[in-house]
């Protein structure tokens, strides 16, 4: 019982987080930056911060993550990091020659008050940025928000690269949010099937789920190109998938370049995927292709075949807001009961949205934004569940409480597959359902008496 000290009694806490359900902003900024082709993420702070950001991503994606750092020491901490940043820009373009350096701040550089836009201007004025090379930046203090906020801030910086020509490109921008590289691939497969030309950004497919070829490439083949980002200002619209991860960037394109945007839920599960497909169909002005209707039908078939094992099962969920909203809706649509839902990311509108989705479930729902894993565990102790869905940190709770558990979200540090198999769209819904049913039926097989132990389920 590794968490044996977690008490059942819940005490009101206002200034203490125990086992956070989030990580630091720059990790999200770094993940988003890796979705630009030829981009080197740069951490403006100490080497320790950068090492942590890189290792957090490498542990989840099982791929090398290259990033540079301003290497703050005592001097930069006192006098500011401008000199380090300017030197870093010079060194990076000289040694590695990326197309883009995507700079994010850290707690330390934010506390000092370093002004990144001003430092970027100075670097350009001093000729440290070669022709055809770019600097983008995001402010990512980790004492506010979460990794999701950092991701959103960097995606907004990417939207800032748009350079409209005034001539429409006939494409639709899709901002997928923080999903797996495999999910980004799946979104591209779906849009191609429907016949919508897209600019997907960021796009980490081919960057963080590449093959082992025996040859190290500092800048892998994948990623949204600079030309695509520049062209995003000429697109006919933007679909932002997720209020927390993607909406700010979409609204920025709308505000700056009059590219109209719609904010949708991430397409996890049946209903959210229906809305995504419908939005694509409307934009393309086409009927839904037979292949897509076929995939939807397969998901519906699987739900109806196995409904008896899903009905009424209580679920506890922890993760990021955009994913949790779609997952909660998916579970409710299958007559499951998500009753404990925690995200570490702030935002009271998350709680409101979950309450709306679960309002007809006929039972109490615990939901908290800016919550932690300690509270999540206490809720489970007070009202046990049949299933936990969340990141790797849930394994301690699942083991102590002996509850079936599906790994989903970020980070997953102890399993493989999330980079390669999508969970978005109808096909992704089938995979999610397979994983859920797998653990529920394994538990049934384990616990059934000999007389109830069945060959066919
Ligand atoms: S100091 Fe701040 S930015 Fe650096 S690793 Fe810690 S939380 Fe993240």
Report which secondary-structure segment, H or E, holds 51: helix 47-61
Supply the DSSP string of 379-394, one letter for each residue: HHHHS--SEEEE-TTH
Please state which of the ranges 35-44, 284-293, 400-409 shows the lowest mean pLDDT.
284-293
SS (H, E, C) 237-253: EEEEECCCCCHHHHHHH
pLDDT at 392: 98
Q: What is the mean pLDDT of residues 327-333?
A: 98
pLDDT at 410: 98
Alpha helices in 263-310 (DSSP H): 270-284, 290-310
Q: Which of 24, 28, 11, 60 is nearest to 374 (CA)?
A: 11
The binding-site residues of ligand 1, defined as CB within 6 angstroms of any ligand atom, are 24, 26, 45, 49, 52, 106-107, 142
Q: Hey, is 422 helix, strand or coil?
A: coil
From 52, 145, 154, 344, the mutation candidate for ligand 1 (largest count of ligand atoms within 8 A of CB) is 52
The 10s digit of each residue's pLDDT in 412-434 is 999 999 999 999 999 999 999 99
Q: Which of 385, 376, 340 is nearest to 358 (CA)?
A: 340
**What is the rounded distance in angstroms from the CA atom of residue 427 to the CA atom of residue 347?**
30
The model's confidence at residue 105, banded by pLDDT at 50, 70 and 90, is very high
Residue nearest to atom 3 of ligand 1 (CA): 106
**What is the rounded distance in angstroms from the CA atom of residue 403 to the CA atom of residue 102?**
41
Q: In 116-252, which ranges are E strands?
A: 134-138, 172-175, 198-200, 237-241
Q: Cα(244) to centroid of ligand 1, in Å?
A: 21
Which atom of ligand 1 is least distant from the CA of 108? 1
Residue nearest to atom 1 of ligand 1 (CA): 107
**What is the rounded distance in angstroms from the CA atom of residue 46 to the CA atom of residue 49?**
6
Q: Cα(158) to centroid of ligand 1, in Å?
A: 22
**What is the rounded distance in angstroms from the CA atom of residue 10 to the CA atom of residue 399?**
21
- Give CA torsion, residues 77, 80, 81, 84, to 10 deg: -90
Q: Cα(404) to centroid of ligand 1, in Å?
A: 33
Mention every residue, 6+ apart, whose C-beta is less than 8 A from residue 253.
159, 162, 173, 232, 233, 235, 238, 259, 261
Mention every residue, 6+ apart, whose C-beta is less than 8 A from residue 351.
367, 368, 369
Whether 11 contacts 200, CB under 8 Å: no
Report all structural domains of the chain as residue ranges with CATH numbers, in order of start: 25-159 (3.40.50.1980), 172-284 (3.40.50.1980), 290-447 (3.40.50.1980)
Query: From the centroid of its chain, how far is CA 15?
Result: 27
The 10s digit of each residue's pLDDT in 149-180 is 999 999 999 999 999 999 999 999 999 999 99
From 23, 24, 41, 110, the mutation candidate for ligand 1 (largest count of ligand atoms within 8 A of CB) is 24
Q: Hey, is 128 helix, strand or coil?
A: coil
Q: In whole numbers, what is the pLDDT of the chain averaged over residues?
A: 97
pLDDT at 284 over 90: no
Q: Cα(142) to centroid of ligand 1, in Å?
A: 6
From 17, 22, 23, 45, the mutation candidate for ligand 1 (largest count of ligand atoms within 8 A of CB) is 45
Q: Hey, is 190 helix, strand or coil?
A: helix
**What is the rounded distance in angstroms from the CA atom of residue 261 to the CA atom of residue 274?**
18
Residue nearest to atom 2 of ligand 1 (CA): 107
Q: Cα(401) to centroid of ligand 1, in Å?
A: 32
Token pair of 36, please? 């630009």
pLDDT at 386 over 90: yes
Residue nearest to atom 4 of ligand 1 (CA): 49
Radius of gyration of the chain (CA): 23
pLDDT at 14: 87
- CB atoms under 10 Å from CB of 328, counted, come to 26
From 106, 147, 344, the mutation candidate for ligand 1 (largest count of ligand atoms within 8 A of CB) is 106
Token pair of 431, please? 């995979």
Mention every residue, 6+ apart, whose C-beta is less than 8 A from residue 377.
3, 6, 397, 400, 401
Q: Hey, is 292 helix, strand or coil?
A: helix
Residue nearest to atom 8 of ligand 1 (CA): 24
The model's confidence at residue 1, banded by pLDDT at 50, 70 and 90, is confident
Whether 241 contacts 268, CB under 8 Å: no
pLDDT at 422: 98
Token pair of 391, please? 């990141």
Q: Cα(345) to centroid of ligand 1, in Å?
A: 16
Report which secondary-structure segment, H or E, holds 429: helix 425-447
DSSP state of 236: S
Q: Cα(56) to centroid of ligand 1, in Å?
A: 12
């Amino acid at each position: 019982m590794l968490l044996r000290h977690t008490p059942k009694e819940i005490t009101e806490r206002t200034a203490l987080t125990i086992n956070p359900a989030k990580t630091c902003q720059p990790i999200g900024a770094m993940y988003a930056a890796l979705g630009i082709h030829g981009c080197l993420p740069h951490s403006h702070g100490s080497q320790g911060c950068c090492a942590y950001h890189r290792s957090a991503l490498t542990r989840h994606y099982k791929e090398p993550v290259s990033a540079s750092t301003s290497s703050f020491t005592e001097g930069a901490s006192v006098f500011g990091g401008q000199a380090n940043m300017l030197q870093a820009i010079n060194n990076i373009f000289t040694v590695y020659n990326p197309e883009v350096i995507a700079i994010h701040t850290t707690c330390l550089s934010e506390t000092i008050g370093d002004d990144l836009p001003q430092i970027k201007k100075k670097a350009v004025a001093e000729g440290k940025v070669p022709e055809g090379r770019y600097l983008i930046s995001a402010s990512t203090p980790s004492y506010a928000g979460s990794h999701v906020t950092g991701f959103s801030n960097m995606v907004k910086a990417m939207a800032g690269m748009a350079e409209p020509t005034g001539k429409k490109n006939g494409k639709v921008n899709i901002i997928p949010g923080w999903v797996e590289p495999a999910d980004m691939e799946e979104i591209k497969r779906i849009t191609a099937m429907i016949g919508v030309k897209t600019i997907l950004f960021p796009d980490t497919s081919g960057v963080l789920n590449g093959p082992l070829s025996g040859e190290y490439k500092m800048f892998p083949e994948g990623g949204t190109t600079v030309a695509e980002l520049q062209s995003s200002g000429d697109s006919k619209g933007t679909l932002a998938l997720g209020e927390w991860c993607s909406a700010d960037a979409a609204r920025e394109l709308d505000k700056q370049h009059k590219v109209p945007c719609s904010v949708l839920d991430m397409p996890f599960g049946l209903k959210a995927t229906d809305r995504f497909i419908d939005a694509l169909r409307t934009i393309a002005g086409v009927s839904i292709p037979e292949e897509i209707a076929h995939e939807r039908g397969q998901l519906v078939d699987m739900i109806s075949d196995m409904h008896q094992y899903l009905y009424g099962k209580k679920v506890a969920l922890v993760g990021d807001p955009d994913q949790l909203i779609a997952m909660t809706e998916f579970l409710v649509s299958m007559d499951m009961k998500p009753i404990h839902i925690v995200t570490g990311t702030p935002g009271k509108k998350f709680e409101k949205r979950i309450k709306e989705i679960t309002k007809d479930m006929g039972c109490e729902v615990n939901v908290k934004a800016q919550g932690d894993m300690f509270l999540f565990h206490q809720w489970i102790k007070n009202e046990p569940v049949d299933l936990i869905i969340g990141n790797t940190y849930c394994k301690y709770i699942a083991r102590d409480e002996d509850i079936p558990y599906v790994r989903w979200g970020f980070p997953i540090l102890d399993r493989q597959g999330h980079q390669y198999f999508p969970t978005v769209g109808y096909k992704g819904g089938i995979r999610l359902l397979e994983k859920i049913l797998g653990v529920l039926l394994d538990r049934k097989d384990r616990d059934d008496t000999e007389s109830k132990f069945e060959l066919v389920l």
